[in-house]
Homo-oligomer: A and B are copies of this chain.
Amino acid sequence: MQYPNGINKSYKRTTPIANRGMTLESELNDTNTYYLVNDIAVIYKKPTPITVNKVDFKARNDAVIKEAHFIVPSTTDYNGIYKGKYIDFEAKETKKDNLPLSNIHAHQIEHLKRIHKHGGIGFIIVRFTMRGLTFTLSIDKLLDFIENESRKSIPLSYFEKEGFLVKQGYRPSIDYLKFVDTLI
């Protein structure tokens, strides 16, 4: 099928029109809600860790935090259960054609290694925002790269070769459990 000049290019994006501009985080939240209400899986994003310094107790049940700081998380952002399996992952967006390894904390990688060792399924989900492409990469393949390559970023080509392309759709918007199904 032919489109007028320029239009076919935008159709190469895997992002449906409805999802354009949505962040990976909001799509994951929608997807996790879809999984929950359809009784497919129970997966949540963890709250952002903070340390609270000052709290005002204006009234009973109405405490207002007046000073707090964000702290570096010890674990990944998402975990839960699917088909009896423990699921654990971190989600990242990158505007480049690579994922700088500095975007993933060393203790998050350590955490995913532990999860894998204890029989869980650990991975990362990476969105290449300029291309509208989203890949999962298992902790195994992530460690393979870190241990064998000296580069400080993982190129898109590595995701294309070793990752799993997650198609974006309407419901759910980002069906990453299709990737988990290939592992169990």
- Which residues of A does B touch, CB under 8 Å? 36, 39, 41-42, 44, 46-50, 63-70, 73-75, 79-86, 88, 111, 114-115, 117-120
**B44 and A74 form a contact (CB under 8 A):** yes
19 further contact pairs, Cβ within 8 A, besides A36-B114, A46-B47, A63-B70:
A39-B117, A42-B111, A42-B114, A42-B115, A42-B120, A46-B46, A47-B48, A47-B49, A48-B50, A64-B67, A65-B65, A68-B68, A79-B80, A81-B118, A83-B118, A83-B119, A84-B86, A84-B119, A85-B86
**A84 and B120 form a contact (CB under 8 A):** yes
Q: Which residues of B contact A119 (CB under 8 A)?
A: 81, 83-85
Q: How far is the CA of A150 from the CA of B120 in the complex (A)?
A: 39
- Out of B63, B64, B68, B81, name the residue touching A86 (CB < 8 Å): B81
Closest to A71 in B: B47
Q: How far is the CA of A36 from the CA of B39 in the complex (A)?
A: 31
A9 to chain B: closest CB distance in Å? 35
A46 to chain B: closest CB distance in Å? 5
Q: Which residues of B contact A111 (CB under 8 A)?
A: 42
